[in-house]
Amino acid sequence: MSKKDKVLEINSELKKLFPNAKIALNYKTPIDLFVAVVLSAQTTDKQVNVVTEDLFKKYPTLKDYINTPLSEFEQDIKRIGLFRAKAKNIKAALEIVSKKYKGKLPDSMEELVKLPGVGRKTANVLLFNIYKKSEGIAVDTHVKRLSRLFGLTEQTNPDKIEKDLMELLPKSEWGNITYLIIDYGRTYCKANCKHQSCPLRKFIT
């Protein structure tokens, strides 16, 4: 079986297992999502959702983030790992969004990755969930681990893994494959598992 046939079959099986796969971060507005995604780096979605429950009440608009002193914002997210760097990036990025983009997040990869704290993974998440655009595939720890486990890539660099997966999958599947793989990883195939109960164990190489 070719890698392309293999990934299409895996994708089909994942859709059957998780027909409602979607992002696990809670949000109501595009700015909410931007903040949540930046906070989620090296932090669990569950922990981010705990913090943003109160955060989004205190910061309902873009201006609330901009007008709040950095030290105060840091305290509001201090339960998140790397909170100082994330606070600085979020405030700097939202300043740019306010001034350069009139308060609306850019809708292209090229513009999004220019914002502080935004790499391809964050940009892919924002583009798909806000604008229904697929310019790439968001590669998180689950996607990295399972795409290698299934023999879809030998790369370890997320950007190179993304490139390999983009070549194998049709563009229409790029956006959702991340959430299918994440749900599978969390439900069946956690790190260091023995794979006896993994429904897709036949694809493991």
* 44 token code pair: 């669990």
Q: What is the Cα–Cα distance from 201 to 47, expressed in whole angstroms?
A: 30
* One-letter amino acid for residue 203 of the chain: F
The CATH number of domain 30-131, selected from 1.10.340.30, 3.40.50.1820, 1.20.58.1030, 1.10.287.370: 1.10.340.30
Query: Among candidates 31, 26, 30, which has minimal Cα distance to 46?
Result: 26
SS3 of residue 45 by DSSP: helix
Q: What is the Cα–Cα distance from 2 to 152, expressed in whole angstroms?
A: 10
> Residue-wise pLDDT tens for the chain (205 aa)?
899 999 999 999 999 999 999 999 999 999 999 999 999 999 999 999 999 999 999 999 999 999 999 999 999 999 999 999 999 999 999 999 999 999 999 999 999 999 999 999 999 999 999 999 999 999 999 999 999 999 999 999 999 999 999 999 999 999 999 999 999 999 998 877 777 778 999 999 8
- Domain chopping of the chain, boundaries: 3-22+136-203, 30-131
Contact between residue 112 and residue 118 where contact means Cβ atoms under 8 Å apart? yes
Contact between residue 156 and residue 197 where contact means Cβ atoms under 8 Å apart? no
pTM above 0.85, yes or no: yes
Contact between residue 86 and residue 38 where contact means Cβ atoms under 8 Å apart? yes
The CATH number of domain 3-22+136-203, selected from 1.10.1670.10, 1.10.1200.10, 1.10.287.3510, 1.20.200.10: 1.10.1670.10
Q: What is the Cα–Cα distance from 178 to 51, expressed in whole angstroms?
A: 23
